[in-house]
Amino acid sequence: MLFNPQLERRYLWDNLFASATWIATGLAILVLLVLLADVLLDGSPRLSWQFITSLPSRKPELAGIAAALGGSIWLLVLTALIAFPIGVGAGLYLEEFSIESWWSRLIEINISNLAGVPSIIYGLLGLQVFARWMQPLTGGRSVLTGALTLALLVLPVIIVSTREALRTVPDGLRQAGFALGATRWQVVSAHVLPLALPGIMTGTILALSRAIGETAALITIGALTFVPFIPNNPTSPFTALPIQIYNWVSRPQQGFHVNAAAGIIILMVVLMMMNATAILLRNRFQKTLT
């Protein structure tokens, strides 16, 4: 026999390889399920209205999540107010207004690099610039400082998703507008932006859900871990859900670990709600567009 294809052996290897890829994928998803189940099992007995409305306490069974939840909502709103206009504006500029030049290329390279900078480095920037130099304005280690830091952190994500959404708007629309004698801004504000807005909103919500789960940057700017009140103005000290969870996890007592698991459930529920909103927005407007 001149040529022996050894098909049986090769097919055996093929099957083994295929199973390995399935096992790897399954394993990753299994870990996700185990993680969720572990958190749910540990935390659900602690979940109660009292847990949501109570302030932190030295005693685990009295401690609650109210201050952290309030702080996270403050952060969410302020971050959105800062990052949304700047991010969308920058995306609009890069996609609709700027002419191909070294400046626009510099900004583009810069944004892709910023997306790879660890969040803790943003924390150091926030600590130095917002918490120290701008202390008279921001009140030091305040909600505003946290929101400014998080806004810078999520800015690249918002800019990139804005640009992607703008690219889906067909060019014929712009050309029709220019042919009628409209300026760029008239075309963008009346036609392009309204069409791209659902995509932009989806990207922004996803970016904000990253901000909500962010811990390292906030710890670095010096967000306090024990704050027995809900912030009532932007310059107030604050704590946030992930910081509270970190604080509880790092204590030795079992009771606080249960609190941490319950806090994680609430954090995940908030994240899921945000993601569901983003997906709903996307699906709903995708239908009307095409």
Q: Pick from 91, 101, 52: which is nearest to 270 by CA? A: 52
Residue 132 · residue 142 · CB < 8 Å: no
Residue 236 or residue 275: which is nearer to another protein going by CB? 275
Residue 77 or residue 107: which is nearer to another protein going by CB? 107
Residue 54: DSSP 8-state: P
Shortest CB 189 distance to another protein, Å:
8
286 vs 165, 168, 218, CA distance in Å?
11, 11, 36
Q: Pick from 161, 144, 190: which is nearest to 84 by CA? A: 161
Residue 66 or residue 157: which is nearer to another protein going by CB? 157
Residue 27 or residue 52: which is nearer to another protein going by CB? 27
* Torsional class of 181: left (φ above 0), alpha (ψ -120 to 50), beta (otherwise): left
Shortest CB 64 distance to another protein, Å:
18
Shortest CB 47 distance to another protein, Å:
16
Residue 15 or residue 232: which is nearer to another protein going by CB? 15
Shortest CB 76 distance to another protein, Å:
14
Which residue's entry shows tokens 């926030």? 126
Question: For residues 226 and 57, what is the distance between their CA atoms, to the nearest angstrom?
Answer: 9
Shortest CB 63 distance to another protein, Å:
16
Residue 266 · residue 260 · CB < 8 Å: no
